[in-house]
Amino acid sequence: MKLLSIILSLFIATGIAGCNTKNEQVQNIQPTPPAVTQQESTETAPSPEQPSQDTFSFDEIAEYSGNPYVVVNGNVPFLNIDSTAYTSYESYSPLDSLGRCGVCIASVGRDIMPTEARGDIGSVKPTGWQSVKYDFVDGKYLYNRCHLLGFQLTGENANERNLITGTRSMNTQGMLPFENMVADYVKETANHVLLRVTPHFEGNNLLASGVLMEAISVEDSGAGVMFCVYCYNAEPGVAINYENGDNCEDTNAPITEEPAQQEPQNTYILNTSTNKFHYPYCHSVKRMSDKNKQTYTGSRQSVINMGYSPCGNCKP
């Protein structure tokens, strides 16, 4: 994997002035990428026990193996909390010469969170964009317009500086869970979370290989929220050309020895009469006859393989 450091170094050298002013409290903060190193790649990513590094190379990221994200630098972000972080702001880099997004950063506070439903973002065509469907992809569409700073955090709609072409998996399994964590914390505490998202484009690729997400809660110095993760812009079963976003079903995808272990293990309630499966808390379970009820713990796919289909209400 090539270093992104050249691109990021250009940001450092030239400076970035891509502020998107939204309200009076928005400050003129320039999104600074994580400090990068020119070192050759190491063979393994740092373990959670290792102390924080000062610099970071995308070469340290392990190859995609089916997990939507991987912990970087022991979950310690390369961010520093300074006095500006105590007031909400958001900042987006201008597009580069290839039309690609750059680093986005925000101190997320309640005052910049959206108060209205999300608007239409279909007018934006991020680099590498293609509208393509696969039956086995959740929602069918391989690519989504992925907010770098999630809509629920900063309320940005069709901001071309904040939208990249991302796989469904990266959007919903990689980035969204972390956005949820940040959003809930801010809503519940009225504190701020400093969040930086760095898209990772290799060379002149138009499709990002992934995004680095770094976050730290401000007022409690990370006690509430702290993470540093890399979300892969990949989709299980799909081969992707990151130069331009071309894709095809990956018939040569390696079959892992124990694929079920990579999937979440949940407890489901099976209805042996209707062949539907449910979350334990589903209303349908309360009405289910005991003789048709069976509790099962395992992966979702394993239940489907047993011939059961998901309940339409609880959508397990």
Partner 1 sequence: MKLIVCLDEAQGMAFNNRRQSRDKEVIKKINEIVGETPLYINEYSRDLFADGIIGAGDGFYFAEVDLPKSTPDEIYAFYWNRLYPSDLKFCIDLSLYDMTDTCEFAGLSHEKITLCHYRRKKS
Residue 99 or 177 having the CB closest to partner 1: 177
Residue 104 or 225 having the CB closest to partner 1: 225
Residue 4 or 225 having the CB closest to partner 1: 225
First to last CA, the chain: 36
State both tokens at 129. Answer: 């964009």
Q: Is 196 within 8 Å of 34 (Cβ atoms)?
A: yes
Binding site for partner 1 (CB under 8 A): 48, 69, 71, 75, 172-173, 176-178, 180-181, 183-185, 187-188, 223-227, 229, 264-267, 279-281, 283, 285-286, 295-297
Residues 6+ apart with CB under 8 A from 102: 11, 16, 18, 31, 33, 92, 93, 94, 95, 96, 161, 198, 199
- Smallest distance, partner 1 to C-beta of residue 307, A: 19
Residues 6+ apart with CB under 8 A from 192: 85, 86, 87, 88, 107, 108, 109, 186, 217, 218, 219
State both tokens at 40. Answer: 């050759």
- Smallest distance, partner 1 to C-beta of residue 48, A: 8
Residue 16 or 216 having the CB closest to partner 1: 216
- Smallest distance, partner 1 to C-beta of residue 76, A: 9
Residue 2 or 293 having the CB closest to partner 1: 293
- Smallest distance, partner 1 to C-beta of residue 312, A: 16
Residue with tokens 């040569």: 252
Q: What's the per-residue H, E or C state across 182-201?
A: HHHHHHHHCCCEEEEEEEEC
Between CA 297 and CA 302, with CA 301 as vertex, the angle to 5 degrees is 50
Q: What are phi and psi of 220, to 5 degrees?
A: -110, 20
Q: What is the side-by-side order of every strand in the sheet holding 69-71? A: 69-71, 226-232, 210-217, 193-200, 104-108, 89-92
Residue 121 or 176 having the CB closest to partner 1: 176
Residue 130 or 266 having the CB closest to partner 1: 266
- Smallest distance, partner 1 to C-beta of residue 75, A: 4
- Smallest distance, partner 1 to C-beta of residue 8, A: 25
Q: Distance between CA 269 and CA 271 in Å, rounded?
A: 7
- Smallest distance, partner 1 to C-beta of residue 96, A: 29
